[in-house]
Structure 1
Amino acid sequence: MLPLRFVRQSRHIGERIGTKTFHSTISNEKRATTNNFRKYVFRLAYTSLGIAVTYDAFNEFQTIGSANRFLRSLTIAVKNSFDYSYNLYGLSEESQGYDELLKEIHLRCANRILEGCMKNGGLYIKIGQGVSAINHILPKEYTNTLKKLENQCLERKPDEVKKLFLEDFGQLPEEVFSEFDYRPVAAASLAQVFKAKTKDGQSVAVKVQYIDLKKRFSGDFGTILFLCTLAKKVHKNFDFTWTLRELRTDLQQELDFVNEGKNAERCSNDLRHLDYIYVPKVLWQYTNSRILTAEWIDGYKITDIESIRNDKFFIKEIDQKLFNIFAEQIFNSGFVHADPHPGNVFVRKNAKGKPEIVLLDHGLYEHIPQKLRRSLCQFWEAIVLKDRNKMQKYAHELNVEDYEKLAEILLQRPMEFNKDASKALTDKDLSYLQDMAKKHFDIVLNTLRQMPKNMLFVVRNLNTVRAIARNHGDPLDRPKHMARYAQYCLYKHDRGIVSYFKWIIRRCQFEFHLFRSSMQFWFAQCYVKLFNREKSKEILTLITAGVEDI
């Protein structure tokens, strides 16, 4: 019945093309193509039916739910592809009303994806959360819509939780704990979180995995990979298939909550010298591969600006601590939290009344070998010193040919624009910035493909942290702060008296370049305000967005 329902839905799409709503927004030339598009949709529907049957045979769907998720995902992919292809047919970026129409399509497609992720759950939500963090590349209609996946995720019936506890502990939750609230306080991509109290009176957070998650992993992963392959054939620049294949093993490890508990303890140990970071302690007697119990934390999401201000904390201070935590992981310890989205990063007051950052959800980590960490630190230092020979050298050590593109991905700002502080940005500079905004997506994919696999998580971490900082209004220069930490970690990697004096010299040179760049930027701002009023608004907007030289 499900394949037949999909065909009927697809036919319904074709029938809607002829409605007044569609015709009121298209030209006469587009009306003439309606029948062709209908035929296209019908062919696609029946082809998809054949694909579904073939896919079912090769991927061993175990339940109707698996087939339903596949068809739901395929339907959304077809609708979104058709929405863009049909409504933008014959139009160019210069066409009247193009931008408004494109925003409407973005929003419709984003809402379809959100609905699909919410209904499918599991890996779909995990990927949707990752997409929402790319708010410097993707349209805001997508990122703002998919932000809802951070906490508003798939919820299951209480009977499922009871059944899982009986399978794993041989007891019901209320028998294992003195108190257990079946109302989930959060629903993550892979599990629900409940509040409970142990028999000795300690409040705890109990993370319970969706009972069928491990069984459906292969089928859901295959579906997502299959849809990305289809998207690649239709949209040549859209190729995430290689990324998914690289990350499959890491995603499977995230399904093991024992592994997550060990990651949490290692993270806490690595960052123990930072007095503003806290990792909840794991209660191992209530933990196994599908249930994780940790101490309860009263806090709020790091993006909750109102609560931060109510606690009389400075947002700039919060960002500084956040940057230090992940810079320490990336450049020094090498054990990197790969999923630090706002739902996994809390803020609270510590015993002294000062801000403390709490890291949650330690399922996805990556280890960066010391050799890669050192090359990354040296590459970041070379960016500040504008030493292109060293940038090229250390980019090659990171297996990347184009060092400029690597720098732009790490800094999330262009490398090439007019740096002369005596005059404003030229038309050529502005054109470059605009072209970069359009081509950045392709550049990211091509450069990431060359990187070692574990570097993908570094980029994911940087993107997510940058998204949090942007939500705060970027009160602190993140690339500059990260660069200082990277340069500092070079000394940690090269201990010794001689190495220390060499590092001091490089440090002075490093700080001089930062000071000179800051002064150049300040003079450029003054010039723009005084002598180039016509372009000042546009230029200062770009500067505020973070495209100035580091």
Structure 2
Amino acid sequence: MFSLRTMLPRKVKQVLKYGTLAGATLGAGYVVKNNDWEISTIGAVRFGRAALTVARVVVDYKWSLRNLEPGTEQYLKLKSEVHTRSAEHLRNLCFVNGGAFIKVGQHLATLDYLLPQEYVQTMKVLHSNAPQSPVEDLMKVFEEDIGKKVEDVFEYFSPEPLGTASLAQVHRARTKDGRDLAVKIQHPKVKAHSYVDIKTMEFLIRQVHWVFPDFQYVWLAEETRRNLPKELDFVREGEHCERVAKMFEHFKFLKVPRVHWELTSGRVLTMEYCEGGQVNDREYMTRHGINVNDVASKLGKLYSEMIFVNGYVHCDPHPGNVLVNKTSAGTQIVLLDHGLYQTLTDDFRINYCKLWISLIHADLKGIEKYSNNLNVGKLYPLFACMLTARSWENVTGGIDKKPVTEAENQELSDNAGMYMIQISEVLNSIPRQMLLIMKTNDVLRGIESILHSRASASSFINMSRCCIRAMGQHKLKHSSGFVKAFKTRLYTQWLLLKVDLYSLYLWISSSYLMKLMKRNSVPVTAS
């Protein structure tokens, strides 16, 4: 059969392809205007800015790496340079467009070992340097939504924000009756721009996928479209606060700020003000006598319970959203920013439990089986490395057997660049529930790394306990008859006892080893 595609020379086909991309970029205004994008002059400018940035990145990759053999030293060197330039262009775009663009940039900054480090490191500045809105503009939002002037409600309202994020910023305030509050107010134009911004990302990512078929990051636009409207609804966030406070009230170390509903709306969230230092601030912990291992352990317990037992997961635990505080009852974890939660289905949660039990026990058949249940296929070894942030050698040898080393971290960083296509294939194929869980895991791992508590035996013991409890509860839920239910309870308790005995063995071993080291140590004296 005659095919124009097969008859065209390769260079002509390339010209047609990039010409079409350029035409799509230049004609974007028409596409936007004639669909349901509610285009405005500002929206067109934002779209055009994004389209030109993406086109610039695409051309840079194609031009800089032309005629080079993939995998060669020269190719890898130039590819790293293009990664850096492209990441800087995209970061600058995020700063200028703000809002949803910063949110996506922050998401990319959390994907350690899933994206080339040039992108991760370049985007990390977005967590601490998001653009501020003038306080006068925020006061107008407060007055429009609450129906009262700021000065009529508060005796004091700080002109400087406690923190600035992609969608909102938080100011400290004191009511006329003396209550200290934290008032979170949405940036004025975020909601108005969000719809066009989401459509822009979807359109451009699909265009890039057309030019680079191996670029499979459509999931990123889909996740943004699904989650951003939820995060922009502060009433929903307040409901999350109350639900998680009730759900985890048995954790006496957890503090969730109380919501003041009379001063809360879709764009304003008013909560009690909570003291504390950021969870990655080791100096703060040292000054206040807070044990970093205790912090890591409590954070691990909380998130293991969220993911494996309850299936209701706070998905934005970056350091600005997790505070630590010293109280008379011990170390307190303060959990902030409840805008983004992931609710896991029972089938997904139990399969995920079984996968982690297989990973902890280095059960390769189990790893393959439960990874395939998550639609990973033949790339399950890569998926296991992505999930644990450990090398395949350590996955097969037992992830709880050896501590993480700098050499292993470097290997994983290198692999993120080397296997970018395969990683994107995995991310595009796994259930959408898994994407936010992986982001959460990476953020928590970053915190553990700063606290020097990463991959400790206690964290795997906590995970094992939660997985066993979750699987026991699931089996009990589907058990018919008293005898089966009794056997399920008995077997679950037996498995938990085995974990406790192993934990006791580790404690005794470490205590004996410490005593032996002290006994054999030779004091150093001045000569």
Which TM-score tier does this pair reach, normalised by the shorter chain? 0.7 to 0.9
- Structure 2 residue runs of 5 or longer lacking an equivalent are 1-13, 399-407, 477-484, 507-527
Instruction: Tell me what 1:360 maps to.
Output: 336
Name the aligned partner's letter for residue 134 of structure 1.
Answer: L
State whether residues 190 and 213 of structure 1, in contact with CA within 8 Å, keep that contact through their aligned partners in structure 2. Answer: yes
CA distance in 2, matches of 1:241, 1:418: 29
State whether residues 336 and 457 of structure 1, in contact with CA within 8 Å, keep that contact through their aligned partners in structure 2. Answer: no
After superposition, the Cα gap between the structure-2 partners of 1:515 and 1:235, relative to the gap in structure 1 and judged at 3 Å, is: farther
Instruction: Tell me what 1:7 maps to.
Output: none
After superposition, the Cα gap between the structure-2 partners of 1:96 and 1:456, relative to the gap in structure 1 and judged at 3 Å, is: closer
Which range is displaced more, 333-342 or 134-143? 134-143
TM norm structure 1: 0.76
Matches within 5 A, 1:320-469: 320-352=297-329, 354-395=330-371, 397-398=373-374, 400-402=376-378, 404-415=381-392, 437-438=416-417, 440-469=419-448
Name the aligned partner's letter for residue 436 of structure 2.
Answer: F
Which of 491, 504, 511 aligns to 1:502? It is: 491
Instruction: Tell me what 1:282 maps to.
Output: 259
After superposition, the Cα gap between the structure-2 partners of 1:107 and 1:379, relative to the gap in structure 1 and judged at 3 Å, is: closer
Residue 112 of structure 2 aligns to a residue whose secondary structure is coil
What displacement does 1:411 show? 1.9
Name the aligned partner's letter for residue 125 of structure 1.
Answer: I
What displacement does 1:464 show? 1.9
Which of 223, 229, 233 aligns to 2:206? It is: 229
Q: What are the superposed Cα offsets for residues 120-175 of structure 1, whole Å, 9 maximum, x if unpaired?
A: 11111111111001122323332222122113212223342232233222322122
Q: What are the superposed Cα offsets for residues 467-504 of structure 1, whole Å, 9 maximum, x if unpaired?
A: 32233344443556534532344345456542233234
State whether residues 384 and 510 of structure 1, in contact with CA within 8 Å, keep that contact through their aligned partners in structure 2. Answer: no
Residue 339 of structure 1 aligns to a residue whose secondary structure is coil
Name the aligned partner's letter for residue 375 of structure 1.
Answer: N
CA distance in 2, matches of 1:85, 1:377: 42
State whether residues 110 and 146 of structure 1, in contact with CA within 8 Å, keep that contact through their aligned partners in structure 2. Answer: yes
State whether residues 316 and 475 of structure 1, in contact with CA within 8 Å, keep that contact through their aligned partners in structure 2. Answer: no
Residue 250 of structure 2 aligns to a residue whose secondary structure is coil
Matched, 1:157 2:138: no
TM norm structure 2: 0.79
After superposition, the Cα gap between the structure-2 partners of 1:373 and 1:98, relative to the gap in structure 1 and judged at 3 Å, is: closer
CA distance in 1, matches of 2:158, 2:412: 52
Name the aligned partner's letter for residue 432 of structure 2.
Answer: K
What displacement does 1:366 show? 1.6
CA distance in 1, matches of 2:119, 2:357: 34
Name the aligned partner's letter for residue 490 of structure 2.
Answer: F
Which of 58, 66, 78 aligns to 2:35? It is: 58
CA distance in 2, matches of 1:38, 1:400: 35
After superposition, the Cα gap between the structure-2 partners of 1:342 and 1:234, relative to the gap in structure 1 and judged at 3 Å, is: farther
Which range is displaced more, 87-96 or 175-184? 87-96
After superposition, the Cα gap between the structure-2 partners of 1:497 and 1:121, relative to the gap in structure 1 and judged at 3 Å, is: same
Name the aligned partner's letter for residue 448 of structure 2.
Answer: A
Instruction: Tell me what 1:471 maps to.
Output: 450
CA distance in 1, matches of 2:265, 2:220: 29
CA distance in 2, matches of 1:39, 1:167: 51
Q: What are the superposed Cα offsets for residues 169-224 of structure 1, whole Å, 9 maximum, x if unpaired?
A: 23221222222123322221111211111121111111111223222221110001
Matched, 1:486 2:467: yes
CA distance in 2, matches of 1:390, 1:139: 29
Q: What are the superposed Cα offsets for residues 423-454 of structure 1, whole Å, 9 maximum, x if unpaired?
A: xxxxxx9xx98995456544444344444333
State whether residues 174 and 180 of structure 2, in contact with CA within 8 Å, keep that contact through their aligned partners in structure 1. Answer: yes
Name the aligned partner's letter for residue 150 of structure 1.
Answer: H
Q: How many residues align?
A: 473
Instruction: Tell me what 1:33 maps to.
Output: none
CA distance in 1, matches of 2:76, 2:452: 25
CA distance in 2, matches of 1:448, 1:437: 13
CA distance in 1, matches of 2:413, 2:37: 47
State whether residues 61 and 67 of structure 1, in contact with CA within 8 Å, keep that contact through their aligned partners in structure 2. Answer: no
Name the aligned partner's letter for residue 471 of structure 2.
Answer: L
Instruction: Tell me what 1:522 maps to.
Output: none
After superposition, the Cα gap between the structure-2 partners of 1:41 and 1:375, relative to the gap in structure 1 and judged at 3 Å, is: closer
What displacement does 1:254 show? 1.5
What displacement does 1:368 show? 1.4
What displacement does 1:98 show? 5.7
Name the aligned partner's letter for residue 357 of structure 1.
Answer: I
Matches within 5 A, 1:64-103: 64-92=41-69, 101-103=78-80
Instruction: Tell me what 1:547 maps to.
Output: none
After superposition, the Cα gap between the structure-2 partners of 1:349 and 1:412, relative to the gap in structure 1 and judged at 3 Å, is: same
Matched, 1:166 2:172: no
Instruction: Tell me what 2:25 maps to.
Output: 48
Matches within 5 A, 1:137-216: 137-216=114-193
Instruction: Tell me what 2:231 maps to.
Output: 254
After superposition, the Cα gap between the structure-2 partners of 1:436 and 1:213, relative to the gap in structure 1 and judged at 3 Å, is: closer
Say which structure, 1 or 2, has more relative contact order (CA 8 Å, 6+ apart): 2
State whether residues 319 and 476 of structure 1, in contact with CA within 8 Å, keep that contact through their aligned partners in structure 2. Answer: no
CA distance in 1, matches of 2:496, 2:419: 32
CA distance in 1, matches of 2:422, 2:265: 42
State whether residues 384 and 514 of structure 1, in contact with CA within 8 Å, keep that contact through their aligned partners in structure 2. Answer: no
State whether residues 279 and 323 of structure 2, in contact with CA within 8 Å, keep that contact through their aligned partners in structure 1. Answer: yes
CA distance in 2, matches of 1:203, 1:336: 28
Name the aligned partner's letter for residue 452 of structure 1.
Answer: P
State whether residues 320 and 476 of structure 1, in contact with CA within 8 Å, keep that contact through their aligned partners in structure 2. Answer: no
After superposition, the Cα gap between the structure-2 partners of 1:169 and 1:92, relative to the gap in structure 1 and judged at 3 Å, is: same
Residue 501 of structure 1 aligns to a residue whose secondary structure is helix
After superposition, the Cα gap between the structure-2 partners of 1:95 and 1:287, relative to the gap in structure 1 and judged at 3 Å, is: same
What displacement does 1:516 show? 12
Which range is displaced more, 309-318 or 363-372? 309-318
After superposition, the Cα gap between the structure-2 partners of 1:373 and 1:114, relative to the gap in structure 1 and judged at 3 Å, is: same
Name the aligned partner's letter for residue 485 of structure 1.
Answer: C
CA distance in 2, matches of 1:221, 1:193: 24
Q: What are the superposed Cα offsets for residues 17-55 of structure 1, whole Å, 9 maximum, x if unpaired?
A: xxxxxxxxxxxxxxxxxxxx9999999656521234333
Name the aligned partner's letter for residue 314 of structure 2.
Answer: H
After superposition, the Cα gap between the structure-2 partners of 1:456 and 1:193, relative to the gap in structure 1 and judged at 3 Å, is: same
CA distance in 2, matches of 1:333, 1:418: 26
State whether residues 84 and 119 of structure 2, in contact with CA within 8 Å, keep that contact through their aligned partners in structure 1. Answer: yes
CA distance in 1, matches of 2:175, 2:370: 52
What displacement does 1:89 show? 3.3
CA distance in 2, matches of 1:357, 1:121: 30
Q: What are the superposed Cα offsets for residues 51-83 of structure 1, whole Å, 9 maximum, x if unpaired?
A: 343334324444322112111111221222233
Instruction: Tell me what 2:247 maps to.
Output: 270
CA distance in 2, matches of 1:241, 1:475: 31
